[in-house]
């Protein structure tokens, strides 16, 4: 259903900054990627989203198009990112219908929870194929068009640059995440892939960056991978910002990365998680975050500590 602008885009961005630009997005029918594309469309872009489910992808394209009157949003279903042929056909259709590709979002992903003891080789390969191979196939299919667009609108000489790609990753591999061996390996590869695109295509005018979302509320991923909260329970209190993220947080980061403001940002990983990965080491220990700090409690029960004179509250 159509969304209010406040749900997917901040007010700081000027309308029309992406006028006549075209974004190609895999995973575009998902909660996060659809918000990213919706924000770009609102600001003047046209778009092509692809996905495996025909009805869902076509329906989401029509919904995204409501973000701006007169926008063009293609929804191409039956596209499997694991198939280079499938993606090449989708890219060809996008260019034929919309004329070009200025921006690319490689966002298709698959995930589930499983310990290694219960993770089959085939299941591991499936996530690698979708997340990592799919990201490579997306980049491979789009890069010739991104290079062409970058030549027409070079970053250093225009306020409406083209030739940019964003890979959607995660923070799972920063410190390791239980039950996520498959996704950890895949997303680490995605980060490395983006760096290689930066190194090899930067001289041709391309910028390649990663956005790594933290826990984003109201998304299909969180619905599948997170336990239902009990009344009064707040499992996200360990996030320094004190909340889960929203799709708008990721959409805003995307607008920044594709805008004139990020002209000199290349080969970077932009973590959008409220500082969550910084405190992963505190969760589940004897000194619960953030209560331990807020209450000014003393460190007790461990060896090698001098007896404290008293804690100090934050």
d(CA 228, CA 283): 18
Every domain of the chain with CATH number 3.40.50.720 lies at 12-277
Contacts of 276 (CB under 8 A, 6+ apart): 171, 214, 215, 236, 238, 239, 240, 241
CATH number of this structure's domain 12-277:
3.40.50.720
Q: Is 72 in the active site?
A: no
Q: Is 212 in the active site?
A: no
Tens-place pLDDT, residues 121-154: 999 999 999 999 999 999 999 999 999 999 999 8
Tens-place pLDDT, residues 146-167: 999 999 998 777 788 999 999 9
Nearest to 78 by CA among 48, 59, 53, 95: 53
Its pTM stands at 0.90
Q: Could you list the pLDDT tens digit for every one of the 314 residues in the chain? A: 678 898 999 999 999 999 999 999 999 999 999 999 999 999 999 999 999 999 999 999 999 999 999 999 999 999 999 999 999 999 999 999 999 999 999 999 999 989 889 999 999 999 999 999 999 999 999 999 999 999 999 877 778 899 999 999 999 999 888 889 999 999 999 999 999 999 999 999 999 999 999 988 877 665 666 666 677 667 778 899 988 899 999 999 999 999 999 999 999 999 999 999 998 765 445 567 777 678 887 767 655 545 555 555 55
Catalytic residue among 135, 169, 208, 259: 169
Catalytic residue among 187, 208, 212, 259: 187
């Amino acid at each position: 259903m159509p969304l209010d602008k406040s749900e997917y885009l901040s007010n700081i961005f000027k309308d029309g900054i992406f006028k006549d630009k075209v974004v190609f997005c895999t995973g575009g029918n998902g909660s996060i990627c659809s918000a990213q594309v919706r924000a770009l469309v609102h600001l003047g872009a046209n778009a092509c989203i692809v996905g495996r489910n025909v009805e869902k992808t076509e329906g989401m394209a029509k919904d995204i198009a409501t973000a701006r009157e007169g926008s063009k949003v293609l929804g191409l279903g039956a596209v499997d990112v694991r198939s280079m042929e499938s993606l090449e056909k989708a890219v060809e259709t996008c260019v034929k219908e919309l004329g070009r590709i200025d921006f690319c979002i490689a966002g298709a992903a698959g995930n589930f929870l499983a310990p290694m003891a219960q993770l089959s080789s085939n299941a591991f390969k499936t996530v690698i194929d979708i997340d990592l191979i799919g990201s490579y196939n997306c980049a491979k299919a789009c890069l010739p068009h991104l290079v062409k667009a970058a030549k027409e609108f070079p970053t250093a000489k225009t306020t409406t640059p083209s030739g940019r790609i964003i890979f959607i990753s995660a923070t799972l591999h920063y410190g390791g995440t239980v039950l996520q061996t498959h996704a950890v390996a895949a997303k680490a590869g995605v980060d490395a892939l983006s760096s290689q695109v930066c190194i090899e295509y930067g001289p041709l005018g391309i910028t390649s960056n990663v956005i790594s979302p933290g826990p984003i509320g109201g998304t299909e991923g969180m619905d599948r991978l997170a336990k239902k909260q009990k009344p009064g329970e707040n499992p996200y209190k360990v996030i320094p910002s004190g909340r889960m993220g929203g799709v708008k947080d990721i959409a805003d980061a995307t607008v920044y990365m594709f805008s004139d403001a990020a002209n000199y940002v290349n080969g970077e990983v932009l973590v959008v998680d409220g500082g969550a990965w910084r405190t992963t080491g505190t969760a589940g220990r004897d000194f619960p975050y953030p209560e331990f700090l807020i209450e000014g409690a003393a460190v007790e029960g461990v060896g090698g500590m001098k007896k404290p004179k008293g804690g100090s509250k934050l």
